[in-house]
Amino acid sequence: MAHEIKIKNQEINSGRIQIDKLWYLSQIKIFKMMTDEDLAIINQMASMKMLPKKYVIQRPKEFQKALYLLKKGKIRLYKLDPEGKQFTLGILGGGNVFGEIKSFSLGTRDVYIETLEETLLCTINQELIQIFLLERPKLMLKLLEVLSERLIESNRMLEHMALGDTKERLLYLLVKLSEQFGTLKNKKTKIDLKLTHQELAYMIGSTRESVSIMLKELAEQKLVIINRKSITINNSLIGEIY
């Protein structure tokens, strides 16, 4: 009897994992246009893994040709300059896709990709997704739209990271984070992402000390509100700058 209960529980848990996997797939932006049948096919092709914070998914010379589905969590795309400083190209949250396959690139070749928090990631082999996409031209076009938007945003980010001083780079990064991962209340946006001063420094190619000084200065100018565990953007004043 106990053995039968154990087997039943395993079946229930397996079913729950399968349902959760399909639910996550349905929440990925480009897949919202797909039928349940197509989602089921993607579900069968994909393998799912939970990754810890600060896990390096890819290095420039070690990338794998596959399509990655970011189900939950956040990742950062960045490059290193000749001096070894990191410059952020973009940050992606749950519901995004990235990767490289024969037909196209989603703008992630030759970059570092690292998790910013515990992340649930799904991977689909390039041969399998290639066949799937060739039979669904509308989905292929949607992926190309995503690529175009991402390249434009990456260029903007890189331009600000390369040309601005520490304060300008930091403020631009905080604004972009608030747009992507913020909660708006009373014309202020709280960034729903816990980042240390050192982590912010890595993102803009600066030092922890410089970031701490600049955050204090931004707070004194009332552009941001700094709490122990969060940063909030003052939209009414930031709007005058961006």
| pLDDT tens digits along 114-127 | 999 999 998 988 88
pTM summary value: 0.74
113, 121 in Cβ contact below 8 A? no
- Crossing angle for the helix pair 36-45 and 126-134, to the nearest 10 degrees: 160
Report the C-alpha gap between 78 and 63 in whole angstroms: 14
User: What CATH number was assigned to the domain covering residues 2-160?
Assistant: 2.60.120.10
- Listed in order, strand segments (DSSP E) in the chain are 47-51, 56-58, 66-72, 74-80, 86-93, 96-100, 112-115, 119-125, 182-185, 188-191, 224-226, 231-234
Tens-place pLDDT, residues 18-64: 446 666 666 677 777 778 888 888 888 888 899 999 999 999 888 77
Tokens 């600000």 -> residue: 160
Domain boundaries, the chain: 2-160, 166-238
Q: What is the mean pLDDT of residues 140-158?
A: 78
User: Could you tell me which CATH class the domain 166-238 is placed in?
Assistant: mainly alpha
